[in-house]
Amino acid sequence: EAQVTQNPRYLITVTGKKLTVTCSQNMNHEYMSWYRQDPGLGLRQIYYSMNVEVTDKGDVPEGYKVSRKEKRNFPLILESPSPNQTSLYFCASSSGFSGNTIYFGEGSWLTVV
């Protein structure tokens, strides 16, 4: 079954404590990305990756890091989380063509206190 799996699904953390949200896809997709979803703002892209070792900033990259060492994995790193990073995060993947379907993970609820 085609899947994008992200963990953890729910996390409460404290300001400044580094955390990583993992993302893995089993569809051999070249393209992966991270979005955050906030009320009234829809989905905003944080970072995306066109392939292994190729990453680029999206619309709201500040405070986040990513890496793409393997094709299937695309972790999102919050080096020093702040309360304004409290949000619902989605990992997504597609086969690299702008017209192809994007597959989303189920989301990770992150609360920074």
Partner 1 sequence: AQSVTQPDIHITVSEGASLELRCNYSYGATPYLFWYVQSPGQGLQLLLKYFSGDTLVQGIKGFEAEFKRSQSSFNLRKPSVHWSDAAEYFCAVGLTGNQFYFGTGTSLTVIP
Which residues would be at the binding site for partner 1 (CB under 8 A)? 4, 31, 33, 35, 40-45, 48, 50, 90, 94, 96-99, 101-102, 104-107
- What is the DSSP track for 33-59? EEEEEETTTEEEEEEEEEETTEEEE-S
Nearer to partner 1, 19 or 102 (CB): 102
d(CA 105, CA 75): 13
Count the neighbouring beta carbons within 10 Å of the beta carbon of residue 19: 17
Residue 72 CB, shortest distance to partner 1, in Å, is 17
Nearer to partner 1, 14 or 54 (CB): 54
Residue 40 CB, shortest distance to partner 1, in Å, is 6
